[in-house]
Amino acid sequence: MRSQVIRSGPLYFSLALLVIAPPAAAVDAGALPAATAEAMAQAASPQAIAEYRRRLAEYQEARAAFDEEAGAYWSSISEKRRGRNAKRRDHQPITLDDYVLTQAPLYNGPKRPVDPSPPEPDEKAPRPRKAIPVVADLLKAASDVFQFVPQRPASEIEFKRAYARVASAAGLTREQAVRVYSFETGGTGNYDVQAGIEHGGTRAISTAMGYNQLLTTNSVELVAEQGHEILAALTAKAAQLSGPARKAMDTKIAVFKRMLAVARSVPDEWGQHEKIGDSPQGWAIHAMVLDIDVGPLLQTHKLLTSVIFARTKGYTRPLSAAELEMMNLTGDGTGLDMVTMPQAMREQVPTANFFQRGGYERNPVAIRHNTVAKLLAITDSRMDSNSNQPGAKEMASVF
């Protein structure tokens, strides 16, 4: 069950592609080198401590005032969202009055000062950053948990052709597939591209992988919800094979059935799928994004479920690539809320209406492009630009 409110993870990483340069980060005392921290502690004087306490009081006062204002604002966002959901259940029209039309408050007061005093001896050391699995980890998990190695393509163009065949047969247009790919990967990503390990990056920043940047949770959820359709496609393909190729496909089908059982062993909820996604079982399922047969099906269903959702809600006009991307990023319910909005309303409704507070305050793109119209426009603009990249041109050529 896809979340109905923008999640900070996939949206933040995908929209981060729109930012030319990230904003400067505030200094984190915990991130200072040990030598620097020790020098600061040794240099602490009564005057330095007094100055720190004065600045801390200023910060706390400013922050408390901001939190009171922001708390009221985000409570109104939640209240309006509940009201819209109730209206939709009763098939009532949604109007401007159903949204908060003022922009979210942003903290611009003093930063929290760094304490010059040495830490207490028994102060707990910061917990190490949680490791993000990369391709090698996913493949190892598939081998360890399911005794299976995904069948990877002989070349990038082979995977693109497989994806184009599946996507076209499912009813996705070339424009939708190519432009979403261009936005998600910058127009250069290979089938195994991972967020952070592209455009010269060397460290994964999330588990988002592939043409449509599926997270581990997405993979688990797609297997749980679309598993029978994927299984039917694999079975139909097996019927056309013989010899060693048929035997390999039969093995793949048997493994996929076991993965399906794991994905459906919990309630159909994002939080439950996320727990599996954080486990070796989830990593193994996510490895199927790399498989030449299963990967294109997962990538296609990631977009197709949004198209089908819109149709079932009575939205019959073809989705533009930017509109489809909003649904892809935000969850179908939230995305459809934006997609079905008339242009005049898009110009006035702040993007904050579709966020939780924490996700919004960490997202410079949504803050900068702070109405629905502006967010869709910058998405379209980046799609236009990235569609001229080599990977996007290659993707277009195979449809």
29 domain residue, yes or no: no
Interval 350-367: pLDDT, tens = 999 998 898 899 888 889
Mean residue pLDDT of the chain comes to 87
Q: Are residues 61 and 93 in the same domain?
A: yes
pLDDT of residue 122: 60
- For 3, 257, 309, 396, the CA distances from 272, given in Å and listed in that order, are 12, 19, 21, 36
Interval 82-91: pLDDT, tens = 999 899 889 8
Please give the residue range of the domain that contains residue 367.
Answer: 8-16+130-397
34 domain residue, yes or no: no
pLDDT of residue 19: 39
37 domain residue, yes or no: no
- The 3-class secondary structure across the chain, one letter per residue, is CCCCCECHHHHHHHHHHHCCCCCCCCCCHHHCCHHHHHHHHHHCCHHHHHHHHHHHHHHHHHHHHHHHHHHHHHHHHHHHHHHHHHHHHCCCCCCHHHCCCCCCCCCCCCCCCCCCCCCCCCCCCCCCCCCCCCHHHHHHHHHHHHCCCCCCCCCHHHHHHHHHHHHHHHCCCHHHHHHHHHHHHCCCCCCCCECCECCCCCCCCCCCECCCCECHHHHHHHHHHHHHHHHHHHHHHHCCCCHHHHHHHHHHHHHHHHHHHHHCCCCCCHHHHHHHHCCHHHHHHHHHHHCCCHHHHHHHHHHHHHHHHHHHCCCCCCCCHHHHHHHHHHCHHHHHHHHCCCHHHHCCCEHHHHECHHHHHCCHHHHHCCEHHHHHHHHHHHHHHHCCCHHHHHHHHCC
Q: Are residues 103 and 172 in the same domain?
A: no
Q: Are residues 59 and 144 in the same domain?
A: no
Number of domains in the chain: 2
Task: For residue 38, give both structure tokens.
Answer: 């020790």
Using the 3D structure, point to which of 96, 117, 138 is the last residue of a domain.
117
Using the 3D structure, point to which of 117, 150, 177 is the last residue of a domain.
117
Using the 3D structure, point to which of 77, 92, 117 is the last residue of a domain.
117
Give, for all 399 residues of the chain, the pLDDT tens digit.
554 444 444 444 455 444 333 333 333 444 445 544 454 445 578 888 899 999 999 999 999 999 999 999 999 999 999 999 899 889 899 999 999 999 999 999 999 999 888 776 665 666 777 789 999 999 999 999 999 999 999 999 999 999 999 999 999 999 999 999 999 999 999 999 999 887 777 788 999 999 999 999 999 999 999 999 999 999 999 999 999 999 999 999 999 999 999 999 999 999 999 999 999 999 999 999 999 999 999 999 999 999 999 988 888 888 999 999 988 877 888 888 888 889 999 999 999 999 889 889 988 888 999 999 999 999 999 999 999 999 999 999 999
pTM here is 0.80
21 domain residue, yes or no: no
Q: Are residues 152 and 103 in the same domain?
A: no
pLDDT of residue 25: 35
Q: Are residues 88 and 52 in the same domain?
A: yes
pLDDT of residue 3: 46
Q: Are residues 300 and 356 in the same domain?
A: yes
Q: Are residues 74 and 190 in the same domain?
A: no
pLDDT of residue 121: 65
Q: What percent of the chain has pLDDT over 90?
A: 70
pLDDT of residue 187: 93
Q: Are residues 204 and 285 in the same domain?
A: yes
Q: Are the CB atoms for 191 and 392 separated by under 8 Å?
A: no
pLDDT of residue 41: 46
Q: Are residues 247 and 103 in the same domain?
A: no
pLDDT of residue 12: 45
Q: Are residues 269 and 168 in the same domain?
A: yes
pLDDT of residue 238: 97
